[in-house]
Structure 1
Amino acid sequence: MDYFNFPVKPKEHTILELREFSRKLVRELGFMRPSLADSDLAPSAVHAIIEIGLVPGIQARNLASVLRLDKSNTSRQVAKLETLGLVSRESADDDGRSFRLHLTETGQKLREKIDRFATDQVSNALRQLTSAEQQTLIRSLALYTDALTQNNAGKAQRPEGSADQQILQGYQPGCIGDIASLHARYYSRASGFGVFFERRVATELAEFAQALPAKNKALWLYVENGKTLGSIAIDGDETTGIAHLRWFIVDDALRGSGVGRRLLSLAMDFVDDRFDETYLWTFKGLDAARHLYESSGFKLTDEAEGSQWGTTVVEQRFSRSSDNVRG
């Protein structure tokens, strides 16, 4: 592969270029139009349809966080979608003050139409780029959007207290099913995994949880209303001094909240006191996750095609030395 040294531009110039590219994206993708994706709905309503479809049962307050809207605007948006017969709600607690949102059959059909429109739009644009240019684009956009997300998360106020108040350590009843479900839904979309993968996650996690508590193992859970919405585990070997980071995942509704970064920070604090090295396995193409790992000191050490999860994917091994942190 050839590498080119481009002249470094002043930061002010880079900012102006990114702002111009962002404006062009907004215009070309249609966000300035009164309706989006041939749906007869405003852009914010289309995004609400997409997010509810991605996370069936999402609560309205979490939808507001994902869409970066306040509660009153989100309530009006949801009410409009209900009136149009696109969204239904069900009570999420005994007092009826919290609701979970689902797409109706009509809403699901509209979401499929929006998906086809967006897929065609992106596909037609990508035909004008080489494969190498496409991968560079994905990597760069992942870094840029993750940086924006982290910046916005730092400014946001969490309505129900800090993440630490809702993070529990150790096994909690129901967490195995919740974590397996989070993995199954996410990796079904990302990598096409099915029942083989979900069963393996549930089986291995149950075996791990049964060994807790243990001084070389730990499990952290982010819990809301008794439901696990995020997790991370450390499975350490005292003989080798090496720890395995496992089952790190956060519900889609918590994207940009800082919960994932906090879970990873707790896990790293645990291993740095006990182990010399930490490693994890992930899959090529999950660039936002890769950026989070690398920002915490992990480096790519191995990459190979594998099919042990029921579907052929490119597996990646990342490692992190505790010595670099201690030193």
Structure 2
Amino acid sequence: MDIVESLPESRDDTIAALRVFSRKLVRELGFMRTTLADSQLAPSAVHAIIEIGLAPGLQARDLASILRLDKSNTSRQLAKLEALGLVVRTAANEDGRSSHLYLTEAGTRLHHQIDGFATEQVSSALRRLTPADQQLLVRSLAIYADALAADNAQITTADDADAHSGIQEGYRPGCIGDIASLHARFYSQLAGFGSFFEHKVATELASFATSLPSTNKQLWLCLEGGRSLASIAIDGDPATGLAHLRWFIVDNALRGTGIGRQLLERALAFADARFEQTYLWTFKGLDAARHLYESHGFQLAEEAPGQQWGAAVTEQRFVRNAGKGPS
């Protein structure tokens, strides 16, 4: 009679046991060998053959997702299978950049060979288990596989989000609306600015964005999941040697994180390399912003009542000569 050890009780012991069993499965199923399932192909190529055989017409991007491979690895794998005469591609009618994958006659024969090998491998092992244990095994593996898939999907989503997060240069779809919205909400509460101001930000920023990329102009965004939560821009004029610092805004959710300072320093490094002086317009009463500007070398150059943003405020113009670093 076989002796079945009881499952470990602690979480750490359970994790350790599953890792041991997973490594053993990898070894016993042959994934550590250079070829798999008596096919003369690497494990990833065997899986590609299986997935294409199960879903003829599968697209390369979908195959990459199924195999958990990046696009470049998938492309190389498919190129090898095509060179071996096992896979063919046909252009997708709906998108000339995409293609559908099919097994050739030789690929189909290999698929049947792999399928027969794997079936016999599993069947042989199951003969050592009772029918009840077989069903328990299937249920347990299904639960575990689903849990791993869900965890990998969460990681992939996080990776995708990271690709669209952090400080990035240049225009991004949706950034004009995001930045205009940030300005409108913040300054309506602070100074009573209304639709005139929001329209001014949106239209001038949209016009600026159409000039990008440019050697004298740049936009920096702090993105989170593709949404702009902070911004700053340099609008430079080589004829005058002046750089206009514009659209500097940070969402309340990021205040205190240092994002504002990072954006400002990137913008000033860009401006200093190209222009003699950088200037900005703001208004009296923004003490925290003024402290940040002055700590980076800006000085108040002029101050007067004005309504350029649609409401009466005391407008201020700050200037900074190139090379004036943070104090």
TM-score using structure 1 length? 0.49
TM-score using structure 2 length? 0.49
For the pair shown, the structure with the greater C-alpha radius of gyration is 2
Which of 1 and 2 has higher RCO (CA within 8 Å, sep 6+)? 1
